[in-house]
Amino acid sequence: MRSYLIAGNWKMHTTPADAKTLASAIAEKQMFLKPPHSVQTLICPPYTSIGAALEAVAGKGILVGAQDCHSEAKGAFTGEIAPNMVKACGCSHVILGHSERRQYFGETNSLLNQKIRAVLNEGLVPIYCVGETLLERKQEQTIAVVRSQLVDGLKDVVLQSASKLVIAYEPVWAIGTGLAATSDQAQEVHAAIRGFLKEIFGAVGEQILILYGGSLKPENAEELLAKPDVNGGLIGGAALQADSFAAIIAAACKLAVS
């Protein structure tokens, strides 16, 4: 049976009340889908809505994660949130290195390396995002860019098991544009990422989940998720509606048992 992780990145959307409504609606739809154990679902609200989301999905088989965190455990870092705070709230995962963090907040591979190690130390699962810009793709730099994001971001990272780390391939040109990568484009990069993960981690790299993100929606979910190295999705826009998010979960359920 194939394993999938279907993760919603809510970005800067939802007050606690909105989060409660959305998370409850997703939980209700998921109850009807009855996903097999190999299909996990995760929602990542803004920090201030994590509590409300967790309450809404308690006992309903939906994981909750954060969208970022700081690399230090505590200290004078006004406005920041430490990994242990995210953990103590009840989160299981933390998205790190999303292209919006890289682009608007200047996050570098070396900073992300510190964050990844801090998150792992806390027993949280980082979802480390990589992906090329349109210019880099046009210049045929995609594989080189993704390779250096992985090699630098995962430097000196020690993994106890494959389940401790998730990678998300998100071509920057596909995020929020409605223009997803084709399933062949995605598979090509995912296969390259699989190879790099095996170089970095050895046999463990074979089992690490690699999610696709960038305009993933009900219309293209089944085709993308059917590709051998696509192990789930990181979903922005389509994760903000219970119907569309549930339709993507349904596609994963169908493929997992087929």
Residues that bind ligand PGA (CB under 6 A): 9, 170, 175-176, 213-216, 234-238
**Considering beta carbons, is residue 206 or 219 the nearer one to ligand PGA?**
219
Nearest residue (beta carbon) to ligand PGA: 236
Joined tokens for residue 16: 């606690």
- Among candidate residues 100, 107, 132, 170, the one labeled active-site is 170
Active site residue 170: yes
* Strand, helix or coil for residue 188: helix
Alpha-carbon dihedral 217, 126, 5, 237, rounded to 10 degrees = -20
HSE value, Cβ hemisphere, 13 Å, CA-based, for 92: 15
**Considering beta carbons, is residue 176 or 228 the nearer one to ligand PGA?**
176
What radius of gyration do the chain's Cα atoms show? 17
CB atoms near residue 8 (< 10 Å): 30
- Among candidate residues 98, 100, 107, 190, the one labeled active-site is 98
**Considering beta carbons, is residue 26 or 234 the nearer one to ligand PGA?**
234
Active site residue 13: no
Alpha carbon distance 139, 121 (integer Å): 37
The catalytic residue positions are 98, 170
